[in-house]
A and B are shown apart, each in its own frame.
Chain A
Amino acid sequence: MYMNKIAQILKKSVFRTLAAIVLGLFVAGIILAVAGYPPLRSMLALGKGIFSSPKYVSNVLIKSTPIIFTGLSVAFAFKTGLFNIGVEGQFIVGCLASTLVGITLDLPPVIQVPLVLLAGLVAGAAYGGMIGVLKAKFGIHEVISGIMLNWIALYLSNYICILEPFRKGDSNGTYQVSEASKTLILGAWKNTDDGRNFLKGIPILGEAFLKTDVNIGFLAAVIMAILLAVLLKKTTKGFELRAVGYNKYSAEAVGIDIKKNIIDVMLISGAVAGLGAALYITGNTPHKITVLSAFEGMGINGLPVALIAGSSPVGCILSGLLFGGLMYGGQALQYEVGAPTEIINIVIGIIVFFVAIMKGVPRLLLKIPRRGGKHVK
């Protein structure tokens, strides 16, 4: 009977995901044990690395922000039937555009910040929109064009960031964006004596502000998640996008323009990634881009974030935090027990794996007692 109960509970996707996370950590523990590291101590170290200090928690939030954005970008496209693997490229061009604008212009922050963010957003949207146009007009699958455009973005960014006048000296990166472009909270003030002394007097928040790049990014991510959720659920546009995602033939039959909607989705999806990129540049040191030898993975990491969240925008915040927490706290594994940080990638992989297979579990559980019952007879 209790099997039935578990099955009922696991029918809710939230609990399924939680179970997947617990199982993921459990399996990671086994792997650690096999590799010769104490599993319990490792897990404690991981937890400590995330929660034990305001600095850590703040850093987790900061680290999660860009992948929440790329997760949202992927989830939004998923909801409407598209697989936006091009999110990496959209993130890169978002970084590029916002950096360039941030270096070139130096206006008062009230104008500068919106302009820099807009630059990232527009670049991401255009880059994502391109995938949409290719699909809508020429029928090119978004995964193919997305992957190709990722590479183009990578090398485009590498090329431009060492061009005059953006390149800083002989370095392999650009100048920092202007001070007015930064989206840090209390950024300049906390470096003054007044600010330092004042913040020292505040117990928890003070430390977080002084020791980390507290910025508006996470707040923006939460707002973006809510906006996207409202767009999908409450507006006619969202209605159309979802209809096309679920069944484009029926959508076409009631007069919805499928091609236009594909382009719209990719525009929005790219815009979200691009905005996340701009916030990443303006909110995090070093506030510039450098030549990359490989993909940073900010976009690609959005895929598991969206998967774990079950493509729910609000869920992306939570799964992004989980992801960010594991990545940041994972460093503690290394200096506390000497375990390689790669174990964190294994944990994430296992969680995604369990999320994927968990869907079938309720049905499986319902079958087991019935089989057993037959033997009893």
Chain B
Amino acid sequence: MIEPSKEYVVQMHGITKRFGSFCALNEMNLDVKSGTIHSLLGENGAGKSTLMNVLYGLYQADEGEIFLKGEKVEVKNPSDAIKLGIGMVHQHFMLLEKFTVVQNIILGDECISHLGMVDMKKARKDVMEIANKYGLHIDPDAKISDITVGMQQKVEILKALYRGAELLILDEPTAVLTPQEIQELIKIMKNLIDSGKAIIIITHKLKEIKAASDICTIVCRGKYIDTVDVKSTTESELAALMVGHDVNLVVDKSPAEPKETILEIENLVVENEKKMDAVKGLSLNVRKGEIVGIAGIDGNGQKELMDALSGFIKAKSGTIKINGKEIQNTTPRNIIDSGISIIPEDRHKRGLVLEFGVFENAVLNKYRKMPYSKKGILNQKAMEQFTNELIQECDVRPAGCTYDHAGNLSGGNQQKLIIGREVSNNPELLIAVQPTRGLDVGAIESVHKTLVRERDKGKAILLISFELDEVMNLSDTIAVIYDGKIQDTFLQGTVDENTLGLLMAGGRNHVHE
């Protein structure tokens, strides 16, 4: 343990936090040096966020001490933390959609003029000053609902800086960003460091740790594992430290043996909620025994494509065929019955009923079939038995969670539950949207393995992901979506990241022209 000293912005020593009988943090240590970007690496549920919530005053530690610049402090609540110069950007942004950027930033800390009115002019000026100082380019008068997720993140960072944060905690900052936005974020972080701030990022993306941070502390199951210098540690070493065993970072798979076409999308046009065309004449085929990955930046028609494929909204024109049968504009049930299973992007919104038990979620797509029900009466025993098998087969933890609320499972285990459920339907086409979003390395590996295994069984797999690495690693065929159309398709290994990145951003593909 390092003695409390001025050199360190934050030192957390021997932090223990229990929730009931569960020990979320067990004598955790963290020492963050001034002028560094310090990453906190660990699997889901390892205790990273808990530790940061203790620092930010959202939780109180049962044991342990916190020092800021060598001085012992007590953080009872977030406003204490803010006063002490700690700022946190949560994974899910806390912004008001209908407010403008400046309004959001000053909310709760408004400058008041003599008449008791909010002095917007001064607020705007102050905000712009800070923004320019750190190279955070924003449109101060835009409404939050009109700006991109990357912009919203900048607003969150500005919010913390506006309150005088010297130490910034970023919880999973890259989870929702495009590669370009990630680059920009890294640049901003470096700017902040140069002007004397310190940053802690919570993440499980190894690549970004390598790219952005200087020091990395690894957490595993609530325990401190090690603090390493990022420059001299490889990605696989980091992964192994995090998971506790060696991890295969590259997806292990044999070449695809595609057979007949299952899914045919032809000239599909779909409108978004604002009645504007979002999918603009998209065509795509997926064959048995191959994984087709759609790479692209969020907001290029993926959501509308998925809504049409799921049967939530009608296609304006064009066809979607499965085994030659047209399925656009039928009901979701019809689509499921014709052999499509979907792993949805938002597992809380579309995948699970969180208030339901695990067993009810496990049969959510088959409760009407024998043996789970008979003549409209549910068969509890069959449901339970199936769930127990699924829990075991897909390694859903904790074991024996059959009757727990699905909302009590961790994100990775919820995802395993959904994937297990969808795969058990034995679909001909499996569509996975962002299947590893928010998951840790161990869970990602398991999801990828499942997808490859299903492919090898001869299923057709369509993968939609905003993570270029995932698409490049996993897909046999890579299709790039931009502006509602497939710009180009490549076989795996015949294209590099730069070409794809350019196409994703709307650039022309010079190779083909």
Give A253 to B425 CA distance when docked, in angstroms.
Answer: 14
B349 touches A236 (CB 8 A): no
Contacts of B351 in A (CB 8 A): 250, 253
Q: CA separation between A243 and B312, bound complex, in Å? A: 17
A253 touches B344 (CB 8 A): yes
Alpha-carbon distance between A11 and B376 when the two chains are bound, in angstroms: 33
Do the beta carbons of A239 and B367 come within 8 Å of each other? yes
A191 is an interface residue with CB less than 8 A from chain B: no
- C-alpha gap A190/B312 in the complex (Å): 62
CB-based contact B353/A255 at 8 Å? no
Per-residue contact bits, chain A 222-250, to B (CB 8 Å; 1 contact, 0 not): 00000000000011111100110011011
Contacts A236-B367, A255-B365 given; does A249 touch B350 at CB 8 Å: yes
B359-373 with Cβ < 8 A to chain A: 360, 364-365, 367-368, 373
* A251-B312 CB under 8 A given contacts A235-B378, A236-B367: no
Nearest-neighbour CB distance to chain B for A228, whole angstroms, equals 15
> Which residues of chain B come closer than 8 Å to A256, judged between CB atoms?
333
> At the interface, yes or no: B399 with Cβ under 8 Å from chain A?
no
Q: How far is the CA of A257 from the CA of B332 in the complex (A)?
A: 8
| Contact yes or no, A253 B377, CB < 8 A | no
Q: How large is the interface on A (under 10, 10 to 19, 20 to 34, 35 or more residues)?
A: 20 to 34
Query: Is A252 located at the chain interface by the 8 A CB criterion?
Result: yes
Q: Is B336 positioned at the interface, with any CB of A under 8 Å from its CB?
A: yes
Indicate which residue in B332, B350, B354, B373 contacts A255 across the interface (CB closer than 8 Å): B332
Size category of the B interface is 20 to 34
B-contact 0/1 string along A318-330, CB 8 Å cutoff: 0000000000000
Q: Are B378 and A250 in contact (CB under 8 A)?
A: no
B388 → A minimal CB distance (Å)? 19
- Report chain B residues within 8 Å CB of A257: 331, 333
Give the CA-CA distance A251 to B353 in the complex, in Å.
Answer: 8
A254 within 8 A of B: yes
Distance to closest chain A CB from B472 (angstroms): 28
- The answer on a CB contact under 8 Å between B353 and A235 is no
Q: How far is the CA of A235 from the CA of B355 in the complex (A)?
A: 18
Chain A window 243-285, contacts with chain B (Cβ cutoff 8 Å), 1 for yes, 0 for no = 1001101111111110000000000000000000000000000
Told that A246-B353, A251-B353, A254-B336 touch, could you supply 12 new A-B pairs with CB distance under 8 A? Answer: A235-B376, A236-B373, A236-B376, A238-B378, A242-B353, A247-B349, A250-B352, A250-B364, A253-B310, A253-B332, A254-B364, A255-B336
A-B contact pairs, 30 of them (CB 8 A): A235-B376, A236-B373, A236-B376, A236-B377, A238-B378, A242-B353, A242-B356, A243-B360, A243-B364, A246-B354, A246-B355, A246-B356, A247-B354, A247-B355, A249-B349, A250-B350, A250-B353, A250-B364, A251-B353, A252-B312, A252-B332, A252-B350, A253-B312, A253-B342, A254-B332, A254-B364, A255-B337, A255-B365, A256-B333, A257-B333
Closest 8 CB pairs of A and B: A255-B333, A246-B355, A253-B350, A247-B353, A254-B365, A255-B332, A246-B353, A236-B373
